[in-house]
């Protein structure tokens, strides 16, 4: 079955530390890739997306992600986190054969300590 895996369920780090969240999917065809963020008490918001072209995409708030097709991965990175980055992060994949619906990873809760 098509699936999306996020390897870390919880991440705790200090301000100014670098963050990398892993995301892998299982589908051999064309994909559209997304990272969404859910801040405490707020709804899901788009951080960044990849449809085609440059596999290194930049999003809001200093986040970036790299699509590595050979590894079926779309890892999220931020060089220096802030306390305000405390949130839950979701990787989502639109797999061509599945129409436009998104398959989500299990989410990663990130806690940034001030």
Partner 1 sequence: GAGVSQSPSNKVTEKGKDVELRCDPISGHTALYWYRQSLGQGLEFLIYFQGNSAPDKSGLPSDRFSAERTGGSVSTLTIQRTQQEDSAVYLCASSMGTGQETQYFGPGTRLLVL
Please give the residue ranges that form the binding site for partner 1 (CB under 8 A).
Answer: 32, 34, 36, 42-46, 49, 51-52, 90, 92, 99-107
70 three-state secondary structure: helix
Count Cβ neighbours within 10 Å for each residue of 77-104 and write b for 16 or more, e otherwise. Answer: ebeebeeebbbebbbbbbbeeeeeeebe
| Between 17 and 44, CB nearer to partner 1 | 44
- For residue 14, the minimal CB distance to partner 1 (Å) is 27
| Between 69 and 113, CB nearer to partner 1 | 69
| Between 36 and 74, CB nearer to partner 1 | 36
Q: Count of CB atoms within 10 A of residue 25's CB?
A: 20
């Amino acid at each position: 079955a098509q699936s999306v895996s996020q390897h870390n369920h919880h991440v705790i780090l200090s301000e100014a530390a670098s963050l990398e969240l892993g995301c892998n999917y299982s589908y051999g065809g064309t994909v559209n890739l997304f990272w969404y963020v859910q801040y405490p008490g707020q709804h899901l918001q788009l951080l960044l997306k990849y449809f085609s072209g440059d596999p290194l995409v930049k999003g809001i708030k200093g986040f970036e992600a790299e699509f590595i097709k050979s590894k079926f991965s779309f890892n999220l990175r931020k060089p220096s986190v802030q306390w305000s980055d405390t949130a839950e992060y979701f990787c989502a994949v639109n797999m061509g054969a599945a129409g436009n619906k998104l398959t989500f990873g299990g989410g990663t809760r990130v806690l940034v300590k001030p």
